[in-house]
């Protein structure tokens, strides 16, 4: 933690020196650097802002990891509760592991309070969630909520009217319109893991979740995380989550004229003008938020890095701090970016090549809990047991006006 704090102090010191230099050069206030600063000054300030954001996220991540480790330690020392159906207790974990080792689906079913399968022990669920978070780019960008049922969310269509009136003038009140209703339907994602009886016995060891099941939990989290990421990116919204860079997003953005259409051209034809035009398609009130960002493919980033002036001089300078030599990711037209492995790159009508916007208006809805079911029969001839782990999730673009896209 001390190293991160030292990095922040150094960055803040560089920030102040840059602003002081701007003030001496122009005689203007530091807050005017975005309007009156040189291109190099604005780029440097953007890079410093990105460094500060990255350092802050790292500190928050370290704090979360420390809290998780503390919770794991408390879980391991918690006194057993006989007959518990609470996944947080060590007694529940012991019963769950016993059911897994014996291949007894009746015991697994007895752990459930509802009609679905038994909840994964909290310790194992935590390991799955940790890996799921590490894998999923959009979870770090979007708003993530936890729900316990299906629900319908009304989204504002317009604001109430504000008028300038004279003294004793007539005031006409109006209501905000909530004409759009978004239905949140958590869709089920299932990961089936087949394990030999020998592996199960060795993985459980003396009754605790050992390294073997930790490995399984990690792989389950990775598998579910990647499948969710695909849906969050290009999902159709029909029988699956709605993706931020899918055809449904293209349709919604095209309807409000917030799309830069390349007219069937390949992603490699993207120009600097396209980037600038697309950012400015997003209304100004959504461009100032901390989650205003690009979501692009690696191919898109490579194309942007290769944009040149007079066919020889790269627009994205390789020898500047904000470029690739400084170790920082830099920005695209002053906007930070994240690489999504499922953002499309093929030349096909309605494909979204890049999205820019305030990702606080893209929301992921996690249904409470991760559930497990046991099948000791299907692969019994080879002495294997299938563990089904499933979770439910949905995602939606909550306000299309906060985004713009570059499309094929």
- Confidence tier at 42 by pLDDT (50, 70, 90): confident
Mean pLDDT for 308-336 is 68
Per-residue confidence (pLDDT) for residue 240, from 0 to 100: 94
pLDDT computed for residue 175 by the predictor: 64
Domain ranges of the chain: 2-72
Averaged pLDDT, 257-272:
95
Residue-wise pLDDT for 358-406, tens only, equals: 999 999 999 887 888 878 888 888 888 888 888 999 999 999 999 999 9
Torsion of the alpha carbons at 75, 79, 80 and 85, rounded to the nearest 10:
-50
The SS3 assignment for 364 reads: strand
Tens digit of each residue's pLDDT (9 = 90 or more) over 290-302 = 999 999 999 999 9
What share of the chain has pLDDT > 70, as a percent? 75
Regarding predicted confidence, which is higher, 317 or 235?
A: 235
Is 0.75 topped by the overall pTM?
no
Query: Average pLDDT for residues 253-277, to the nearest whole number?
Result: 95
Beta-carbon contacts of 336 under 8 Å, excluding residues fewer than 6 positions away, are: 50, 53, 293, 294, 329
Give me the sign of the Cα torsion angle 201, 203, 208, 214.
negative
pLDDT (tens digit, 9 = 90+) per residue, 128-175? 877 777 778 999 999 999 888 777 766 655 667 777 788 877 877 766
């Amino acid at each position: 933690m001390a190293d991160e704090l030292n990095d922040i102090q150094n960055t803040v010191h560089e920030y102040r020196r840059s602003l002081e230099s701007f003030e001496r050069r122009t005689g203007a206030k530091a807050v005017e650097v975005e309007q009156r600063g040189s291109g190099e000054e604005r780029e440097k300030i953007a890079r410093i802002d990105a460094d500060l954001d990255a350092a802050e996220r790292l500190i928050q991540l370290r704090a979360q990891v420390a809290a998780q480790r503390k919770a794991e330690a408390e879980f391991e020392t918690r006194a057993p509760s006989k007959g518990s159906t609470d996944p947080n207790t060590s007694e529940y974990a012991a019963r769950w592991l016993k059911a897994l080792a014996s291949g007894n689906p009746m015991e697994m079913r007895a752990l459930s309070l509802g009609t679905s399968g038994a909840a994964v022990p909290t310790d194992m669920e935590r390991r799955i969630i940790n890996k799921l978070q590490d894998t999923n780019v959009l979870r770090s960008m979007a708003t993530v909520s936890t729900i316990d049922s299906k629900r319908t969310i009304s989204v504002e269509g317009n604001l109430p009217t504000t008028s300038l009136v004279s003294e004793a003038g007539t005031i006409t009140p109006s209501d905000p319109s909530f004409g759009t209703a978004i239905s949140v339907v958590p869709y089920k994602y299932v990961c089936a893991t087949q394990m030999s009886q020998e592996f199960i016995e060795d993985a459980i060891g003396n009754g605790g979740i050992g390294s073997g099941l930790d490995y399984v939990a990690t792989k389950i989290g990775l598998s579910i995380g990647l499948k969710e990421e695909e849906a969050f990116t290009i999902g159709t919204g029909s029988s699956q989550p709605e993706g931020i860079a899918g055809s449904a997003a293209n349709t919604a953005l095209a309807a409000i004229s917030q799309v830069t259409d390349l007219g069937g051209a390949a992603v490699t034809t993207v120009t600097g003008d396209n980037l600038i035009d697309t950012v400015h398609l997003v209304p100004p009130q959504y461009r100032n938020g901390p989650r205003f960002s690009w979501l692009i493919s690696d191919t898109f980033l490579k194309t942007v890095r290769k944009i040149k002036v007079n066919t020889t001089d790269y627009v994205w300078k390789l020898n500047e701090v904000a470029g690739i030599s400084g170790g920082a990711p830099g920005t695209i037209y002053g906007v930070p970016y994240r690489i999504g492995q499922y953002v499309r790159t093929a030349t096909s009508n309605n494909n979204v090549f890049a999205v820019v916007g305030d990702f606080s208006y893209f929301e992921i809805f996690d249904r409470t809990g991760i559930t497990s079911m046991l099948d000791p029969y299907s692969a019994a001839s080879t002495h294997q047991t299938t563990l089904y782990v499933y979770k439910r999730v949905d995602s939606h673009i909550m306000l299309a006006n906060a985004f713009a896209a570059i499309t094929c």
